[in-house]
Amino acid sequence: MHVRELRVQYRQRRVVGCLLPLQRLVTPREAALAFGRLLRNEPVEVCGLFCLATSHQVLAYHELSRGTVDASFMHPRDVLKVALLANATAIIVGHNHPSGDPAPSGDDIRVTQRLKSASDIIGIELIDHLVIADDQYFSFKDSGLL
């Protein structure tokens, strides 16, 4: 897969991510496969963000945070800042669970609810939040939690 850097400048700051040309993420499974390629072998929790165009074509991928073996940090403010700078109309967030269990924690559920509320206000659609663990994944969309 060919990867290029996307640089968006805004008030002298830069947001750097990876552009995956012509790739569309329409289903949770497609998004889980894309996150899996990026996060599966990470020894710590890593939160990532796909910024999407209206057609669900990937505009950018951005690593939001790196945590520990059982925790990472994701704040709605940081997620939406990246999405706005990438001119995204929709986003998919995801993170890995190095433990191998894709079940979301209480913190995962709470941050997803906060992100959903904030993205609704801003007008950027939160399509899904995925938890990746080995060859499995948990989709907040598919489970009805989003």
The pair phi, psi for residue 43, each rounded to 5°, is -80, -15
Q: Which of 25, 29, 94 is nearest to 64 (CA)?
A: 94
* Domains of the chain, each with CATH number or no CATH: 4-143 (3.40.140.10)
Q: Using one digit for the tens of pLDDT, what is the confidence trace for 67-110? A: 777 777 788 999 999 999 999 999 999 999 999 999 999 999 99
Predicted TM-score (pTM) of the model is 0.82
Mean pLDDT of 10-38: 68
The residue with greater pLDDT, 10 or 98, is 98
Q: Is the pLDDT of residue 8 over 70?
A: no
The CA distances from residue 85 to 4, 29, 119, 140, in Å, are 17, 26, 14, 25
Per-residue pLDDT at 70: 72
Q: Using one digit for the tens of pLDDT, what is the confidence trace for 107-143? A: 999 999 999 999 999 999 999 999 999 889 999 999 9
Instruction: For residue 126, give the amino acid letter.
Output: L
Q: Using one digit for the tens of pLDDT, what is the confidence trace for 55-66? A: 999 998 999 998
